[in-house]
A = this chain, B = another copy of it.
């Protein structure tokens, strides 16, 4: 009920804060949609696949194209160099620059910085695409092409929204931080954020990440992500692989030790067996609980899409909480053992078991690392194996959580109501976006994920698309959001 009262309050204040009626902006956007799709076509045509070194120049070209677009809107753009990427063979290759841009600089207005990326995942016809991945193709209202949803289309929607607002007045100062290495781990960006914290970020009030999708056909806003901690357990029983005929039965096998250790991590219901791991998990509050009740979820459809036989939890609330607000442990695989097709009678000499634990507030990576290491060392000591063991945390990223009552979220929810005539799904995602918790830690700003991708856009898959509806109504959403934000 409290939420509803808030919303009613905004309905009355919004029109005061925004002198330009929203419907005029929306009409402008509708009238220019052909132009927007055309721009998206041009952006999609650039094969800015950051994972392919041979396409590095395309990524850089893409950064320049976006620079040009922002300049056409009257913005100032700095192309911040990130230096070089070191390759395995010792050679280096230039990293694509990061766009640091600003539009409008009115000290009276709040400043929002949009983060997004212009690089894409690999895509070829041979992967099973039905259309040329870099040739935007519209079929039944869907715009197919690599990057349409992830993330070129979403950034372009913000830029188009800015352009539409500029026909009247840009109600807030808008900044952009656009990178070209997101799909391969945002190489170099973390350091840049630290370096520019006291300059580029100094006048930023809000950070909005555009790189996200809705969980259903209903628009959603994301207020939290899980963190992650990735572990290697390395066991060695010999210096060379052994023949299971000659050595089977007389050597404590590394794979057997590893299987034992991995079997002590999680039970069949997904409950993590590492002592103390749940101690720091933030308790579920009544307010948060209510948010899960509102989210729409079609279990059967989700099962069908992924060919999943059954989920561990069958109530919507439990399902959503387990995938986003509680930790989980997944065993990814074993390196060094026999993993090819066929049969091989090998006793692997050195195996590395890989698993990761998704972290949630208020789990501290350093504490989790100690809990995992202590647990595994204890179990291994009990086993009394002569083999060597090494436990390494390969990386750890903190979870991120915002307060859904912050102005960013209130403005986002209001904008969604205005454009889509429905209440926003307020969601936490189970995945990890390391740059988000980095933004939070370094800048301390209020952060929100406001994306316009649909639930079935297949961002990393074949036949990636964005619906024309999402692209155009999403542009309206960003415009309405900027208008709403001006009222705080």
A interface residue numbers (CB < 8 A to B): 225-226, 228, 230, 236-240, 242-253, 255-257, 259-260, 262-263, 266, 268-270, 306-313, 319, 322-323, 326-341, 343-349, 354, 356, 358, 383-388, 394-395, 429-432
Contacts and interface: CB of A to CB of B under 8 A. Distances in A.
Given A244-B356, A246-B431, 7 more contacts: A226-B245, A250-B322, A255-B332, A268-B385, A309-B386, A331-B337, A332-B337
Given A255-B333, A332-B344, A250 B311 contact: yes
A323 B246 CA distance: 7
Given A255-B333, A259-B263, A337-B333, A349 B307 contact: yes
A439 to B, nearest CB: 18
A370 to B, nearest CB: 20
10 contacts: A228-B345, A240-B307, A245-B358, A249-B358, A252-B268, A260-B268, A262-B263, A333-B338, A333-B346, A343-B395
Contact of A306 (B239, B322, B345, B385): B239
A336 to B, nearest CB: 8
A248 B333 contact: no
B263 A331 contact: no
Nearest to A307: B239
A319 B248 CA distance: 11
Contacts of A268: 252, 256-257, 260, 383-385
Given A332-B337, A339-B339, A251 B311 contact: yes
B383 A322 contact: no
Closest 3 CB pairs of A and B: A239-B307, A245-B431, A333-B337
Contacts of A249: 270, 312, 322-323, 326-328, 358, 430
Contacts of A333: 255, 334, 337-339, 344, 346, 348
Contact of A248 (B236, B253, B257, B323): B323
B246 A430 contact: yes
Contacts of A431: 243, 245-246
Contacts of A307: 238-240, 349
A437 to B, nearest CB: 13
A213 to B, nearest CB: 11
A466 to B, nearest CB: 19
Nearest to A321: B249
Contacts of A257: 268
A358 B348 CA distance: 16
Given A268-B384, A358-B249, A256 B331 contact: yes
